[in-house]
């Protein structure tokens, strides 16, 4: 099997080093996802830039994490589920929401559940939504802007989830307490 490097500040290509240094300042460590993406500085820059843009969306931290974690679960990304569980906890997302996202169960808040269902439909149907699905999220109190921002969050997770799949990124110590195993991995055991 082909292995991918987990770069350090010393081994990373020059174009990736400033991004890794910013991550070190922000998190106190360089996440293995970033260290792996450093192999191709353009994907690292794309991912971090898109992440900053997604943070500007007209969505709460909870709503952004619903979009991100739903995509992580659907894509079976164990690294990102653990990382975003930790980020959700740090960001004040309610435990009942985090548990629902990790276990693929309904979120008790009907508006947030409508957002989760929209994200599921968007991911599973590769962007093809029915009028019924669109009307359901609008009726829950979201807007057309929200629908487009779900696409943005889904694109962000495609970059990280696919990278983690092919690189088999090692989980950082900071996220180990929130390890998650995809149902597909469990079935294979």
Alpha carbon distance 15, 19 (integer Å) = 8
Percent of the chain surpassing pLDDT 90: 94
Question: For 160-177, b where at least 16 C-beta lie within 10 A, e where not — what string?
Answer: bbebbeebebebbeebee
How many independent structural domains does the chain possess? Answer: 2
Q: For residue 157, what pLDDT is reported?
A: 98
Q: Is the pLDDT of residue 117 over 70?
A: yes
Average pLDDT of the chain, as a whole number = 95
Q: For residue 23, what pLDDT is reported?
A: 96
Q: Which residue has the tokens 């970033």?
A: 34
Q: For residue 188, what pLDDT is reported?
A: 56
Residues 109, 31, single domain; the answer is no
Q: For residue 149, what pLDDT is reported?
A: 98
**Mean pLDDT value across residues 150-166:** 97
Q: For residue 185, what pLDDT is reported?
A: 66
Q: Is the pLDDT of residue 183 over 90?
A: no
Q: What is the Cα gyration radius of the chain?
A: 17
Residue 34 lies in a domain: yes
187, containing H or E segment: helix 183-188
CATH number at residue 82: 1.20.1290.10
**Mean pLDDT value across residues 54-60:** 97
**Mean pLDDT value across residues 52-69:** 98
Task: Name the pLDDT band for 189 (thresholds 50, 70, 90).
Answer: low
Q: For residue 1, what pLDDT is reported?
A: 59
State which residues form the domain around 34: 17-54
Percent of the chain surpassing pLDDT 70: 97
Residues 123, 43, single domain; the answer is no
Is the entire prediction scored with pTM above 0.85? yes
Residues 6 or more apart whose Cβ sits within 8 Å of residue 73? 81, 101, 102, 104, 182
Residues 25, 79, single domain; the answer is no
**Mean pLDDT value across residues 135-150:** 97
Residue 3 lies in a domain: no
Residues 75, 147, single domain; the answer is yes
Residues 33, 77, single domain; the answer is no
Q: For residue 182, what pLDDT is reported?
A: 86
């Amino acid at each position: 099997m082909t292995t991918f490097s987990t770069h350090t500040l010393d081994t990373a290509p020059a174009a990736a080093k400033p991004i890794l240094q910013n991550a070190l300042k922000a998190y106190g460590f360089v996440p293995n996802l970033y260290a792996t993406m450093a192999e191709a500085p353009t994907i690292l820059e794309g991912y971090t830039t898109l992440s900053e843009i997604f943070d500007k969306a007209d969505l709460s931290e909870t709503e952004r994490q619903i979009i991100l974690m739903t995509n992580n679960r659907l894509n079976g990304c164990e690294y990102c589920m653990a990382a975003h569980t930790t980020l959700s906890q740090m960001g004040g997302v309610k435990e009942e929401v985090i548990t629902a996202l990790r276990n693929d169960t309904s979120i008790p808040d009907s508006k947030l559940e409508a957002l989760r269902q929209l994200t599921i439909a968007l991911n599973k149907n590769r962007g093809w939504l029915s009028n019924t699905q669109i009307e359901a999220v609008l009726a829950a109190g979201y807007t057309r802007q929200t629908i487009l921002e779900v696409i943005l969050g889904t694109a962000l997770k495609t970059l990280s989830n696919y990278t983690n799949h092919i690189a088999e990124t090692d989980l950082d110590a900071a996220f180990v307490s929130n390890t998650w195993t995809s149902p597909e991995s469990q079935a294979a055991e």
